[in-house]
Amino acid sequence: MSREMTTPVQYLKGVGPDRQPLLEKLGLKVARDLIFFFPRTYQQVSTVRSVRDVEEGQTATLQGVIEEVGAGDTWGSILVRQGEDYIRAVWFNQPFMVKRFQRGQTVALTGVVKRQQIRWEMRHPKADVVEPQDIEEGRDLLPVYPLTEGLKQSQIRRIVKSAVEEFLEQVEEVLPERVIEEHELLSIHQAISQIHWPEDEQQLQRARHRLVFQELLVLQLALAMRRHATQSAQRAMALPGSTRIDARIRRLFPFSFTACQEQAIREIGMDLSRTVPMNRLLQGDVGTGKTIVATYAMLVAVANGAQAALMVPNEVLAQQHLRTLNKALTNAHVRIGLLTGGASVVERRQFVAAAGTGELDIVIGTHAILQNDVQFANLGLVVIDEQHKFGVRQRAQLRASGEEPHYLVMTATPIPRTVAMTEFGDLEISTLRTVPPGRQNVYTYIAESSQREQWWDFFRKKLSEGRQGFVVTPVIDGADYDGQPDIPPGGNTNGGGRTNDSDSGSGGSGSETETCGPPSHLVGVEQTYERLANGELEAYCIDVLHGRMSATEKAHVMQKFVEGETQVLIATSVVEVGIDVPNATLMTIENGERFGLAQLHQMRGRVRRGAFPGYVCIFHDAQTPAALDRLMALETTADGFELAEIDYRLRGPGDLMGTRQHGLPPLRIADLTRDGGELALAREVARRIVENDPDLQADDMARLRRMVLVRYAHALELANVG
């Protein structure tokens, strides 16, 4: 009697009750899991060389038997015999590398060969244990699977191979024959067989292409179906522009828009004029004028008799937007209201009443406007600033509070191209890359503690010339740091893991806590204030700003800084976005390794707002070359889009852009850092399919439709809000 793919692994050949717990640690519970447990890499058996044939400086793969295993305090090595010849593999500063090797094992070494006295040597080679039965297979490429302690590579190879041989024919072919033929794809059975035990490199690449394409096609179909369903089923108020409205709005701005802003305004205007809800992402580098574009869109809504809501992640940014809009709209008859978590009971009651009766045209608020008591008379447009700091379901609460509004979500963290096509694949995207004329350069320096005196001399010199500056630390109090975000009084954690009006340094921009020293190394706001007030900056007026302060305290501190009364502001990453003080041209960042690359780029954008050049010095305690490389990219790159791609390549998808808030299941085999070609192809194929068959109702689409719904129906329930 044939068994099903749901057979528990315990009952499969080579497993049993002893190995079952080991496989479950790898997420392998039933036979189907083993079939789709793809190798992480491959051993190239065919490239094995003879020790006698190698040359100095040559990269080679050599295979032999381990004769000796040795380790010291700072090194580890193995002596490998190949017939009558020997080669030593050495790992300096990594003695732990040899713990997995034993005398008598066959090992394959790949690395650069060097002559060391009378013997050949490889330093820091790639090393894999090779089982005799694997060699006897006679294949050029051997799969290398992820392991857990207690499980050998040879064992998992045999278990997976046995499962594939027994259950492969039960795997459904979900792609229609027309798609397979058009794109010359392997069948699903060929692809699975070749991904585990490839005949050669060409077949391996064909197998991987088929499986990656299928995985990304399923995702892109889900996004395309969601977008089509949203546009077909939902209706919004049409908010058309006109020549008269355009002229009235432009008179409020004493400057010309950049070409990128003009293009974004046209795209947004077309969306607003339709009865299909706009669902657009506005992304732009630091200082490219996203707020100007958003203000234009809100004024179009107001001109049509609708209300507009601007949601921001913290009170400091909310106050900043209020000041900016009040200044820009001095000569306009637009009524603006503000609601944050720090509002009094009376202030909140007055806001709720004014929003509900339509007395307010534009409302600015933090998570506080998401409460059930906040209703709008005629909400036509919602603008979300720094969208990755809001959970998906939170953003939907405004949508559910009345008639369907148009949505414009903004991010000052440029999105890597492949992320834009997946995590934001159901949004239209407008991009701002051009900085308005007159903006000055920012000079960035990555420094060590030995350079502090030189930096503070320069910092004081610029303060004496009349400039202002920031000092940014990752936490409020380093001595009390317990690994938790900076949570202000009364803050409530939202669905995305952020806190109400929080300014934690571990936000959606991505902190890098694994690359630095223990918590005791962190520099906090309070300690920094004490040190600078009694040391390097004792002659200057300094103040502090962080998330534990009340709304009134924050507003008072910012007002003094804006007016120039305070010369230096010591803060957490609350200054990451929205702080607009043109005279502030200096920034010192402590523990720079604790911040994400995009976050650091955002913070340095605070010192390029005026007519003077900006200067940023980032002190760090990076413990790995990768962490230092990320920081050094800031010194050489000023383009936020380029930095986003660098950050993405170095760190992978992970939490970049707060993607875990989006709720998409992880990809099994596709790698967005290298599979951009397959992603673009899948997106185009999905677009064509959904245009002709929005619900995948064609007979040959039934299995593919089922896979799309099983994998993404729940996750994408609310994807249309970003």
SS3 of residue 482 by DSSP: coil
Interval 112-135: pLDDT, tens? 999 887 789 999 988 888 776 655
Task: Grade residue 479 by pLDDT with cuts at 50, 70 and 90.
Answer: low
DSSP string computed for 636-677 = H---HHHHHHHHHHHH-STTGGGHHHHTPPPPSS--TTT-HH
Residue 495 has pLDDT above 90, yes or no: no
Q: Is the pLDDT of residue 245 over 80?
A: yes
Domain 44-131 belongs in CATH node 2.40.50.140: yes
Exposure class string for 345-366: b at 16+ Cβ within 10 A, else e: eeebeebbebbeeeebbbbbbb
Dist CA 366 CA 346 (whole Å) = 17
pLDDT band at 484 (very low <50, low <70, confident <90, very high): very low
Q: What SS3 state is found at 313?
A: coil
Spatial CA neighbour of 712 closest among 686, 692, 688, 676: 686
pLDDT at 663: 52
Q: What are phi and psi of 600, to 5 degrees?
A: -65, -40
User: Higher model confidence: residue 707 or residue 285?
Assistant: 707
User: What pTM does this model have?
Assistant: 0.66
pLDDT value of residue 482: 46
Given a cut of 70, whether residue 161 has pLDDT beyond it is yes
- As a whole number of angstroms, the distance between CA 127 and CA 101 comes to 10
Rg, C-alpha atoms of the chain = 29
Specify the fold of 442-637. Rossmann fold (3.40.50)
For 406-462, the pLDDT digits (tens) are: 989 888 777 777 777 776 666 788 988 888 776 778 899 998 888 999 999 999 999
- Average pLDDT of the residues of the chain: 82
pLDDT band at 611 (very low <50, low <70, confident <90, very high): confident
Dist. CA 46–CA 60, nearest whole Å: 11
Is CATH 3.40.50.300 correct for 243-432? yes
Residue 399 has pLDDT above 90, yes or no: no
Architecture of domain 1-40+145-169: Orthogonal Bundle (1.10)
| Whole-number pLDDT of residue 46 | 59
The predicted model gives 652-671 an average pLDDT of 59
pLDDT band at 519 (very low <50, low <70, confident <90, very high): very low
> If pLDDT is split at 50, 70 and 90, which confidence band does 624 have?
confident
Q: Which H or E element spans position 408? A: strand 406-411
Instruction: For the beta carbon of residue 70, count every other beta carbon within 10 angstroms.
Output: 13
Over residues 579-584, mean pLDDT: 85
Report whether pLDDT(616) > 70: yes
If pLDDT is split at 50, 70 and 90, which confidence band does 342 have?
confident
Burial class (CB in 10 A: 0-12, 13-18, 19+), 133: exposed
* Equal fold, 243-432 vs 442-637: yes
* 346 contacts 275 by C-beta, under 8 angstroms: no
**Mean local confidence (pLDDT), 551-578:** 86
Q: Which residues contact 682 (CB under 8 A, 6 or more apart)?
A: 213, 216, 217, 219, 220
- pLDDT tens-digit profile of 75-94? 999 999 998 889 999 998 88
Q: What is the pLDDT of residues 345-398, one digit of tens each?
A: 888 889 889 988 999 999 998 877 777 788 888 999 999 887 554 444 444 555
Residue pair 133/154 in contact (Cβ under 8 Å)? The answer is yes
pLDDT digits (tens, 9 = 90+) for 284-328: 887 788 889 999 999 999 999 999 999 888 787 888 888 888 888
Name the least confident of 137-151, 162-176, 513-527, 700-714: 513-527
Which residues, 6 or more positions from 83, have their beta carbon under 8 angstroms from its beta carbon? 51
Euclidean distance between the first and the last CA atom of the chain, given in angstroms as a whole number = 49
User: Residue 200 pLDDT more than 50?
Assistant: yes
For 24-78, the pLDDT digits (tens) are 999 999 999 999 999 998 877 656 678 888 888 888 888 889 999 998 888 999 9
For residues 597-610, average pLDDT? 84
User: Where do the structural domains in the chain lie, given as residue ranges?
Assistant: 1-40+145-169, 44-131, 243-432, 442-637
| pLDDT exceeds cutoff 50 at 573 | yes
State the Cα angle at 535 between 531 and 539, rounded to 5°. Answer: 120
